[in-house]
Structures are given as structure tokens and as C-alpha cells.
């Protein structure tokens, strides 16, 4: 059993305290007693993590030891009442800590730190991509403690995430002989001797429901019709700004798999026996290469575990 009740980046303990975002007096006073998460967007959005603890823990710093930030982002208030801010800045040297990306460590962090890291990275990535107003073309400035941007004419924009569906297609058969359909994306980098396979995914198009996107994307990418679409959970994927809506769906393995080569390089059905072997570190060969599954921080692996453990 995977033991996962929720996708790895769908966990948090923070009170976002949205009513404080427009209270400049409270924010200024709170900065002096806050905990601060530093992320370096120039280094891929890495933060400092102590990996000698179990679980690993984010390094949150005292603002007194940091340069005065121009635009700190208010993340919320901890259960003990202490406010938490994030800043985009070079990472300081902290003994016993190393710079780590969310992809590497998100699944290992506790609920509190997973939520902090995910939220901070999502907001910082959003700010980097919205320095100009799409309505007026004018430069925008950070406002509302990092939760909006505004241009000189008062045109305001708020953070948005792009909804995307991701689905684990399976045959509905229990036991080790049950199979799931995974694909190798044509845009993924190649590693000699390895071939990565994952769930099928795609953005939800305008005017489309998430379930309709599941039907469309699977048919477009591998030519297979699906049934029994069931929602399984969601998580942010701030690379740079998606919300992954996870589903399970059934299909008939006898139906021919016809990939769209612009999207999918390879696609095939895998048995529970094969997936279990790969997760246990035992080699599974796919066309002369070793099968590699999605990273642990992804919702894709969460969906694979749900199916592998029979929760579908």
C-alpha cells in the first residue's frame, strides 16, 4: 500500500489569512516577527532544506538577518500565530542545509513544509510571468502582499493557475494481471538505457469540463476511448503554474493504440506485476530500455499507486 491519502503537493497546515493581505499596517508589523522562506528563482526556484532530519524540513529564517525585501509575499499564519512570508532572493549559507528543488523533496516534506514550498513557488513563478499587464501593456507592481499586481492605470491582475487533467487509464481487471496504459511524451529528454512512462495528461481547453478533457486528450494522444471516468484528487504543479486534476478511467486493451507522434513517442499497457517490479527497483525492459516511472512528487505516481493498490 502506498499509504497516501492525498497527492504529495496537496498538503498544507497554513491559515492563508487572506483578510490580512490588504492591511499594510499589520503586514509591516508582522514582518519583524515572521518566519521567512527564501526561494531563489534564478536557481530554478530552490529553497534551503535540512535533509538530516526525518522528515526533511524547510529552513525558515529570521527577517532580522535578511536584506530588506522590496516585495515580500505573505503566505499566511502558522497554528502558533506566527506569520510566514516568502521572498525571491539568493539563498544564504546555512550550515547543515542544502539548496533543493520542490520536485526533489516535495513528497518527503511534512504537510506544513510541502504547503509552504508549493505555495511560495507558485506565487513567485506567477510574478515572474506577469510583469506587464495583458490589458494595457504597462509595467505592473506587486500589491496585496504578493497576491495581486497592478499597473499605473489601476488595472489589477490576480494569480491564476492553468487547469490540466491527468489520467491513469486501466483495464478494470483486479490482481497482478490487471493493466494500465502509460505513455512516453515526445518532448521529454532522452536518457541512454532508460525510457520514462507516465499517465496521459493535457490542458483543459476553454469551454471544456475536466472530464471532457480526459476523453479528448486520451483519444487524441493514443486513439483509445475511455469510460468510467472517476476523479481521484488534485494538486498544484507550479512548473510554472498548473493545477493537475487527477482521474482514473477504464479502457479496453484490445482497442488499438495509435499514438499522435507530435505528443507521444511510445505508449503501451503495463501489468500490475511490471509496475510493482519497477517501483521495487527491479528492472523492467521496454523496447531495450529500462522502465522509469514518474517522480514521487508528481500526482502521476499517486494515481499509479491508487491503481496498483486496488483503490479504483
The model's pLDDT over 257-277, given as tens digits with 9 standing for 90+, comes to 999 999 999 999 999 999 999
**How does residue 4 score in pLDDT terms, banded at 50, 70 and 90?**
low
Residues 20/31, Cβ–Cβ less than 8 Å: no
Q: Radius of gyration over alpha carbons of the chain, in Å?
A: 22
pLDDT tens string 127-140: 999 999 999 999 99
What average pLDDT does the segment 15-40 reach?
97
Instruction: Give the pLDDT score at 213.
Output: 98
pLDDT tens digits along 37-75 = 999 999 999 999 998 999 999 999 999 988 877 899 999
- What pLDDT score was predicted for residue 65? 83
Question: Which residues does 131 contact at the CB level (< 8 Å), separation at least 6?
Answer: 139, 140, 149
pLDDT tens readout for residues 163-220: 999 999 999 999 999 999 999 999 998 889 999 999 999 999 999 999 999 999 999 9
Q: Which regions of the chain does DSSP assign to beta strands (E)?
A: 35-40, 46-50, 57-58, 73-77, 83-88, 98-100, 141-143, 148-150, 156-157, 162-170, 179-185, 194-196, 200-203, 227-237, 242-250, 264-271, 285-286, 289-292
Is the pLDDT assigned to residue 3 strictly greater than 50?
no
Give me the pLDDT at residue 267, please.
Answer: 97
Q: Which cell numbers in the block locate residue 86?
A: 516568502
Average pLDDT, the chain: 95
Q: What is the pLDDT of residue 242?
A: 97
* 0.75 surpassed by pTM: yes
Amino acid at each position: 500500500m502506498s499509504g497516501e491519502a492525498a497527492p504529495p503537493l496537496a498538503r498544507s497546515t497554513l491559515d492563508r489569512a487572506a483578510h490580512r493581505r490588504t492591511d499594510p499596517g499589520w503586514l509591516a508589523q508582522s514582518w519583524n516577527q515572521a518566519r521567512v522562506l527564501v526561494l531563489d528563482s534564478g536557481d530554478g526556484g530552490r529553497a534551503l532544506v535540512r535533509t538530516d532530519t526525518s522528515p526533511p524540513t524547510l529552513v525558515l529564517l529570521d527577517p532580522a538577518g535578511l536584506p530588506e525585501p522590496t516585495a515580500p509575499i505573505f503566505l499566511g499564519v502558522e497554528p502558533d500565530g506566527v506569520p510566514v512570508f516568502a521572498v525571491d532572493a539568493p539563498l544564504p549559507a546555512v550550515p547543515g542545509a542544502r539548496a533543493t528543488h520542490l520536485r526533489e523533496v516535495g513528497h518527503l516534506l511534512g504537510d506544513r513544509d510541502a504547503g509552504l514550498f508549493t505555495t511560495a513557488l507558485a506565487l513567485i513563478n506567477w510574478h515572474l510571468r506577469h510583469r506587464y499587464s495583458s490589458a494595457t501593456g504597462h509595467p505592473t507592481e506587486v500589491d496585496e502582499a504578493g497576491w495581486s499586481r497592478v499597473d499605473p492605470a489601476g488595472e489589477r491582475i490576480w494569480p491564476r493557475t492553468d487547469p490540466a487533467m491527468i489520467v491513469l487509464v486501466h483495464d478494470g481487471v483486479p490482481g497482478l494481471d490487471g493493466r494500465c496504459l502509460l505513455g512516453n511524451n515526445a518532448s521529454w529528454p532522452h536518457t541512454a538505457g532508460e525510457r520514462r512512462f507516465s499517465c496521459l495528461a493535457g490542458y483543459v481547453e476553454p469551454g471544456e469540463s475536466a472530464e471532457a478533457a480526459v476523453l479528448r486528450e486520451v483519444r487524441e494522444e493514443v486513439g483509445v476511448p475511455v469510460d468510467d471516468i472517476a476523479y481521484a484528487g488534485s494538486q498544484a504543479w507550479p512548473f510554472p503554474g498548473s493545477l493537475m486534476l487527477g482521474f482514473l478511467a477504464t479502457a479496453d486493451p484490445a482497442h488499438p493504440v495509435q499514438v499522435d507522434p507530435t505528443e507521444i513517442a511510445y505508449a503501451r499497457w503495463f501489468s500490475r506485476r511490471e509496475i510493482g517490479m519497477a517501483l521495487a527497483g527491479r528492472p523492467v525492459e521496454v523496447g531495450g530500455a529500462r522502465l522509469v516511472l514518474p517522480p514521487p512528487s508528481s500526482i502521476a505516481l499517486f494515481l499509479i499507486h491508487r491503481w496498483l493498490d486496488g483503490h479504483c
